[in-house]
Amino acid sequence: MALQPLENEIGSKQAERQSDRFLAGLKPLELVTFISHINPDPDSIGSMLGLAHLVETTLGKRTRLTRDGIIGRAENQALVDLLGIDLIPIGEVQWEWGEALVMVDSQPNTGRHSLDPSVPIYAVIDHHDTPDELDDISFVDIRHGLGATCTLVTRYLIEQEIPIPTRIATALLYGIETEVKGYPREASVLDDSATYFLFPLADKDLIAKIRSAPLPQSYFECMLQAMQSSFKYDRLIISWVNELPQPEMASQVADFLIRFEEVEWAFCAGVYGDQLILSIRAAVSDGRAGQKLRQVVCKLGGRAGGHDRRAGGFIPLPSTSSNAVEQLQGELRRRLLKVLNIDECRGQRLVPRREILENIG
Ligand SMILES: [Mn+2]
């Protein structure tokens, strides 16, 4: 097995063999259950799958993978379907005695879980920049410098010299790909060497199929509405969506809008259930998007987190009446402009009003 690429690039001695520590703590336990953030993405799904493979192969323990919320994006659903990944809805999980809970690609107290907070967590393996208290958790491996949690999991599998089957390699590679795409890339040399390592092992045709997953009509409807309610304020574009067909649609809109040549920031907010779902993207390095979005939402009772270039969050809505939502939108816009150092100004429509009216007529 070609272990070289990652082996040479690991930095400190301390960072070595975290996988030994992780596995040692699981030895006395019977069952290992993996959890992640709400509405899991490929990085969290790939990480759960990879770690379950590690635990099953090295320790022979039973494992379960869970799903908090829904699988939103068509691509993510394709990943789960095509690789036959069994995800137990978190609400249906019966906690067992002698069970270890491992949280991946997320951290407790981020507001991104519907997990019973009294259930103890054994390990947190993540790459998000999230201020958190993790003192009670036996095993913590958080590497902010990494583009993907799947990179860390790949590292563990290599450390333990575990052969990686095609299905696992495919999920891990796709998990890394989705996390490091866009520009500027949020990738470290370790993400690149994990990609290099996984590439020959993964099913590239299957990845192509996942990338090109068929999209539902609601996707196009929502995109149209988002384009028609997009306003540019200097180097920021804001899009308001009335109702999101699925919560991740906000990030899909932001991903699309950040390509607009006149902006450095794209923000989308839309209603899903009793929450306003938020997503922000930056086209600049050192954007500190996660931190900035947290600043915007903290006084509005919301939660947010993420990375330098991409972040997401939500604000609970006491009322979903258009009045209440509009008021919150106004407040959000003001705060966003302030955090991004943009002077208050009149928003310019992305699609001129006459175009919208002509199309309706
Ligand atoms: Mn991730």
3-state secondary structure at position 116: coil
Task: Specify the range with the lowest mean pLDDT, choosing from 66-80, 187-201, 211-225, 343-357.
Answer: 343-357
Is residue 315 within 8 A of residue 298, CB to CB? The reply is no
Query: What pLDDT is stored for residue 359 in this prediction?
Result: 73
Could you tell me the two tokens for 202? 């993964």
Q: Is the pLDDT of residue 3 over 80?
A: no
Question: How remote is the CA of residue 356 from the centroid of ligand 1, in Å?
Answer: 37
Query: What pLDDT is stored for residue 59 in this prediction?
Result: 98
Q: What string of DSSP letters covers 266-292? A: EEEEEEETTEEEEEEEESSTT--HHHH
Query: What pLDDT is stored for residue 7 in this prediction?
Result: 43
List, in sequence order, every beta strand (DSSP E) within the chain: 31-35, 62-67, 88-89, 99-104, 123-126, 139-142, 230-233, 236-243, 265-272, 275-282, 303-306, 310-316, 348-349
Question: How remote is the CA of residue 346 from the centroid of ligand 1, in Å?
Answer: 36
Question: How remote is the CA of residue 154 from the centroid of ligand 1, in Å?
Answer: 13
Of 265, 273, 266, 225, the closest CA to residue 247 belongs to: 273
Give the number of other CB atoms < 10 A from CB of residue 352.
Answer: 10
Question: How remote is the CA of residue 307 from the centroid of ligand 1, in Å?
Answer: 9
Query: What pLDDT is stored for residue 356 in this prediction?
Result: 79
Summarize the confidence of residues 309-315 as an average pLDDT. 95
Query: What pLDDT is stored for residue 273 in this prediction?
Result: 95
Question: How remote is the CA of residue 12 from the centroid of ligand 1, in Å?
Answer: 23
Q: Quote the mean pLDDT of the chain.
A: 92
| pTM, 2 dp | 0.92
What distances in angstroms separate CA 88 from CA 32, 83, 194, 274, 356, one per listed residue? 13, 15, 28, 24, 44
Could you tell me the two tokens for 268? 């989308």
Give the pLDDT confidence of 161-201 residue by residue, as tens digits. Answer: 999 999 999 999 999 999 999 999 999 999 999 999 999 99
Question: How remote is the CA of residue 41 from the centroid of ligand 1, in Å?
Answer: 8
Query: What pLDDT is stored for residue 1 in this prediction?
Result: 39
pLDDT band for position 303 (50/70/90)?
Answer: very high
Question: How remote is the CA of residue 245 from the centroid of ligand 1, in Å?
Answer: 23
Question: How remote is the CA of residue 225 from the centroid of ligand 1, in Å?
Answer: 28
pLDDT band for position 113 (50/70/90)?
Answer: confident
Query: What pLDDT is stored for residue 65 in this prediction?
Result: 98
pLDDT band for position 119 (50/70/90)?
Answer: confident
Give the pLDDT confidence of 207-237 residue by residue, as tens digits. Answer: 999 999 999 999 999 999 999 999 999 999 9
Question: How remote is the CA of residue 201 from the centroid of ligand 1, in Å?
Answer: 21
Question: How remote is the CA of residue 290 from the centroid of ligand 1, in Å?
Answer: 13
pLDDT > 90 fraction of the chain, expressed in percent and rounded: 83
Summarize the confidence of residues 86-101 as an average pLDDT. 92
Could you tell me the two tokens for 240? 């308001």
Q: Is the pLDDT of residue 8 over 50?
A: no
Question: How remote is the CA of residue 104 from the centroid of ligand 1, in Å?
Answer: 8
CA dihedral 95, 98, 102, 103 (to 10 degrees): 40
Q: Which residues pair with 35 in a beta bridge?
A: 103
